[in-house]
Chain A
Amino acid sequence: MADPAGAGLLRALREPAAMAGFEPALWNLVLPRARNAGLVGRLGVRAEAAGIAAALPERVRDMLVAAEAVAATHDRMIRFEVGRIRRALDGTGIGFTLLKGAAYVLGGLKAARGRLVSDVDILVARERIDEVERRLIEHGWRQEKTSAYDQRYYRDWMHELPPLRHRGRMTVVDVHHNILPLTGRLRIDAAKLLAAARPVEGLDGVTILAPADLVLHNVVHLFQDGDVNHGLRDLADLDDLLRHFGPEPGFWSALAARTAELGLGRPVNYALRHAAALLGTPIDPALRAAVGRTAAPPPIDRLMQALLGRALARSGQPAPDLPTRLAREALYLRSHWLRMPPVMLAGHLARKGAMQFLPERQGV
């Protein structure tokens, strides 16, 4: 089924200069889709970089300016929260590493611009996580999830504390002691991630994941996030990350080595192929060949490619058609299969399902 809105959005991301020639009717399809996929701000950044922002219709520019204003406000909020977390840990000597959106913002990455991030994700050494939690709670954060089940689910299976929300500002910090492996077969050595992390200028004790790890975390996230609706945004992040770090000497070989070490060949293969196909992301041929060798047997590979491709290309589509819904659900279930043993899967989903119907979920 033709999807001109999705095709137009991909084209705008792939060749920003083409936006200058978009007809009003196409804009009227692309803008709502981009808005629902969380990508309007990014279109603005790309149009600006391509030097065609001034050539766009005035009403399109209005919306890009508006999205940029919101994004800038989010960026400021992220920086502020990072500063607050740092102050809360003042004197403990505990450093922390920024993940995902916060890493993009503080790392000054292009990917950060126009991206809406609501939570701050940080990684800390496992042996200090209790102290971090205590400090944050002393400084005004509090736990959102209180049921014993949730506590265990987060701490044991998600490698993180249940989300901590600040009482006054209502912002959320997710404190991780590891990032999720994509399969239960492998463990990621969090100490290595922390050791490779790069300092943030002007903020002692704050680091961001090393470029290769940042990319791999994005890939893992792309496959694990139940909200595949924002998959295209994650893929656009990947595109920005690879364009940003690609020219850095040693980046591609470090990424190849890390990918092999963590056994992430297959997901990296899927993600790179889609980034290249949908967004024209430049990929190092050696890495491409290396991860290509890890591909699943053809029938499975084809199935995954099809599911992912559909889910990504239609991110932000309001009322998804049936194949897209199936693709999303398959990915959601898949991410759950990978996260925990099958016995727990049933329990967790059932619980989530039942809790949806409780009018008051606080204080359960």
Chain B
Amino acid sequence: MRRWRVTGCRPDLIRLWDDQCVLFNLSSGQTHQLNALAEAALRIMMQRPMAPSEIAEALAIELETEADPAWVQQFDQLIAEFDRLGLIEPVP
């Protein structure tokens, strides 16, 4: 199971306003807009490196929703997107 850690952001470079998040990407120097779910996933990964399925599970518990395959799959996509942006790196 491949775990990922956040290397491209810090808590002080994230702003959550209403349900929209803006963050500064330290790796690329770009600024991104995230939705609230993506923001939550990123914040969780800031605490410790995680695999997509672990994030899905943790957030499912928080949000009292079911971690069905569709739910889990969206975190695979999210991780791929974070990776493409250079926000996260796989932990060896």
Contacts and interface: CB of A to CB of B under 8 A. Distances in A.
B20 to A, nearest CB: 23
B76 interface: no
Nearest to A76: B29
B28 A80 contact: yes
A204 B86 CA distance: 17
Interface string B14-38: 0000000000001111000000000
The 7 A-B residue pairs with the shortest CB-CB distance, nearest first, are A80-B28, A76-B29, A80-B27, A80-B86, A73-B29, A83-B86, A77-B29
A46 B26 CA distance: 26
Interface in B32-60: none
Interface in A29-58: none
A83 B29 contact: no
A79 interface: yes
Contacts of B29: 73, 76-77, 80
Nearest to B92: A204
A76 to B, nearest CB: 5
18 contacts: A73-B29, A76-B26, A76-B27, A76-B28, A76-B29, A77-B28, A77-B29, A79-B27, A80-B27, A80-B28, A80-B29, A80-B86, A83-B27, A83-B86, A83-B89, A84-B86, A87-B83, A204-B92
B31 to A, nearest CB: 13
Contacts of A83: 27, 86, 89
Nearest to B7: A83
Q: How large is the interface on A (under 10, 10 to 19, 20 to 34, 35 or more residues)?
A: under 10
Interface in A157-195: none
A87 B29 CA distance: 18
Given A80-B27, A80-B29, 4 more contacts: A76-B28, A80-B86, A83-B89, A84-B86
A interface, over-half SS: helix
Contacts of A79: 27
Interface in A319-348: none
Contacts of B26: 76
Interface in B68-92: 83, 86, 89, 92
A307 B59 CA distance: 68
Residue with the highest number of chain A CB atoms closer than 10 Å, among B27, B83, B89: B27
A83 B84 CA distance: 11
Interface in A252-278: none
A76 B89 CA distance: 16
A76 B27 CA distance: 7
Nearest to A140: B84
Interface in A199-219: 204
Contacts of B92: 204
Nearest to A169: B28
